[in-house]
Amino acid sequence: MPDIVLIGGGVIGLSIAFELATRGASVRVLDQGPLGQESSWAGAGMITPGDPAGAKSPDTRLRAESFVLWPDWAARLREESGIDTGFARCGGIEFSPDRSASEIAAVAAKFQSEGVRAELIGARELRELEPNLNPELGDAVHLPDYCQVRNPRLLKALLAACTARGAELSPGSPVIGFERSGSRVTSIRTPAETISAGQFVVCSGAWSQSVLAQVGCTIPVVPVRGQIVLLEALPLPTRRILEVGSRYIVPRADGRLLIGSTEEHVGFEKRNTAEAVAELIHFGSELVPSLKAARFERCWSGLRPGSPNGRPYLGRVPNTDNLFVAAGHFRAGLMLSPITAVLLRQMLLRETPSLVLDELLQPR
């Protein structure tokens, strides 16, 4: 019997499993489909900089704490798995969606107030940093500490590291029921077996609400479709992440660029649409005109676990002693995976918490 069962094998579930397994816990990870193939695989791997000393809100504190963890996290995974996750400090440039000078100045001031290196730059400085950008983009914020990680490589590394540490991985194992004794969950049921454990964690991404509904818990986590386009352009026309509101261009070292992403409330319908793909390519070409000649490679979509204000649910499920939840990370699942793993490890192993965020949304 495992000590802990994780219901969900995306980046959050696998990160928690890895963190627990390194502390000697017996762990089993279940997923209704293939492990690591939903929104965790589909994202762009952007890691926004943060500074714990300057963070003022739950969102910025989680981001900052995770940002500090990332270099060691990537190094540990490489050592344990032999796989390079592609973690790198590439820098980033943020623009105002409406090219408002006052709005982008406020963005720069906010980052600076949080202790993040951020420089407000004009057209001349922008041209020096990235000469291939549209010269009419206006002022921008240069974030030299912006990082990225390669999602597929990260997930392969997590799978390999979890396996090396003895975690049991069970793809194709949907949870169809819980068995309880009073306030304690004693086991869960899949179509093939009943699994007992000491503790359970629901980390099923966009499907977390339906899993928790089986124990009478409600969390308003809903699927939000995001579509992404992959282009190839050699030589790369930009080396930095470019971000405009909810959309972005992420360059990869192999000459590819990710352009994303939509935010669509269409239920569990995971597919690409001609309209969205065309809009994303147009967006990319507006920022970097030379992308009009780039080679279209492919497109895909994923279902992000959206919560009302983008903050995750982290903690014990009410009216239970041993059922926890880590879900609702929305666009920040990869970015927040290290700190989520640490916080859940501390909860599950009854360690002193390193971070207390009373303002985080809690399940009810």
**Cα→Cα distances 10→127, 156, 270, 303, Å:** 39, 11, 16, 12
Q: Would you say residue 99 lies in a domain?
A: yes
Same domain, yes or no: 183 and 325: yes
Rounded distance between C-alpha atoms, residue 82 and residue 80, angstroms: 6
Coil, helix or strand for 95? strand
Q: What is the CATH number of the domain that holds 188?
A: 3.50.50.60
Last residue within a domain, chosen from 112, 128, 144:
144
Same domain, yes or no: 204 and 236: no
Neighbours of 193 (CB within 10 A): 10
Q: Would you say residue 357 lies in a domain?
A: no
Name residues whose C-beta falls within 8 Å of residue 51's C-beta, 6 or more positions apart in sequence: 64, 67, 114, 115, 116
Q: Would you say residue 363 lies in a domain?
A: no
pLDDT for 361: 46
Domain with 133 in it: 92-144
Q: Would you say residue 319 lies in a domain?
A: yes
Rounded distance between C-alpha atoms, residue 352 and residue 279, angstroms: 48
Same domain, yes or no: 159 and 79: yes
Same domain, yes or no: 102 and 197: no
DSSP one-letter string for 270-290: ----HHHHHHHHHHHHHHSGG
Same domain, yes or no: 203 and 300: no
Rounded distance between C-alpha atoms, residue 127 and residue 154, angstroms: 33
Same domain, yes or no: 78 and 159: yes
pLDDT for 363: 54
Same domain, yes or no: 272 and 246: yes
Q: Would you say residue 356 lies in a domain?
A: no
| Dihedral sign (CA 333, 336, 338, 340) | negative
Same domain, yes or no: 75 and 160: yes
Mean pLDDT by 10 residues, the chain (364 residues): 95 98 97 92 94 92 96 98 97 93 94 97 94 94 98 97 97 96 96 97 96 93 97 96 97 96 96 98 97 97 92 93 96 96 96 74 50
Q: Would you say residue 353 lies in a domain?
A: no
Q: What is the CATH number of the domain that holds 240?
A: 3.30.9.10
pLDDT for 128: 95
- pTM of the entire predicted model: 0.95
Question: Number of structural domains, the chain?
Answer: 3
pLDDT for 360: 53
Same domain, yes or no: 11 and 76: yes
Q: Would you say residue 157 lies in a domain?
A: yes
Same domain, yes or no: 77 and 179: yes
Q: Would you say residue 364 lies in a domain?
A: no
